[in-house]
Amino acid sequence: MDRADLTFRNDGGDFSLRVRAIILDGGRLLMVRHPLGYYYPVGGRVHMGESSVDALLREVQEETGVAMEIDRLGFLHENFFFDEKRGANHHEIALYYYMRPLPGLSARRLCGSSGDALCWLPLDALAPERLYPTFFKTRLTEPSDRLEHIFTWEN
């Protein structure tokens, strides 16, 4: 069975369900650098009939080449924005999971399937970077053990 992404379009715009990994090692955060110069976390869309946990484990393996384990769910993010490329409003729900630390991970060469580069960013130097989600700049430097529900409206 071909497993379609949990994304759809209707008269109001586009919707997508995504999963993202928070991968930390020695005060650094693993992000993907897009060719246009911004950063985003490892992860992707959930497939129909796939749990968010299975989707994240699949995406992390595909994008980093490393099998990791999930520690806990950290953030539920509802993001509302206008997608200029598609010319449509977008409602995205993303689940951000902290991954279990793998000692020495940042010293390993990570080779995933993504065409974009994997980069380690120091947590204390995120402020000037162009990264999405923007809440990483503040929430990851002062982590909480509680699940946070975050709403953002971007233009």
Where is pLDDT greater, at 111 or 12? 12
Task: Identify the pLDDT of residue 1.
Answer: 41
Task: Identify the pLDDT of residue 2.
Answer: 56
Fold of 7-148: Nucleoside Triphosphate Pyrophosphohydrolase (3.90.79)
Task: Identify the pLDDT of residue 74.
Answer: 98
As a whole number of angstroms, the distance between CA 117 and CA 61 comes to: 15
- Among left, alpha and beta (phi > 0; psi -120 to 50; other), residue 94 is beta
* 114-138 average pLDDT score: 90
The yes-or-no verdict on residue 33 having pLDDT over 60 is yes
As a whole number of angstroms, the distance between CA 146 and CA 90 comes to: 27
* 95-110 average pLDDT score: 82
Task: Identify the pLDDT of residue 110.
Answer: 67
Contact 51, 95 (CB under 8 A): no
* 91-100 average pLDDT score: 97
Query: pLDDT for 62-87, tens place per residue?
Result: 998 889 999 999 999 999 999 888 88
Rg (CA), the chain: 15
* 40-51 average pLDDT score: 97
Could you count the other beta carbons within 10 Å of the beta carbon of residue 68? Answer: 19
The yes-or-no verdict on residue 50 having pLDDT over 80 is yes
Q: What is the pTM of this model?
A: 0.91
* 107-117 average pLDDT score: 66
Give which of 92, 91, 97, 10 is closest to 52, Cα–Cα. 97
The yes-or-no verdict on residue 125 having pLDDT over 60 is yes
Task: Identify the pLDDT of residue 111.
Answer: 61
Two tokens at 142?
């002062």
Q: What percentage of residues in the chain have a pLDDT greater than 90? A: 68
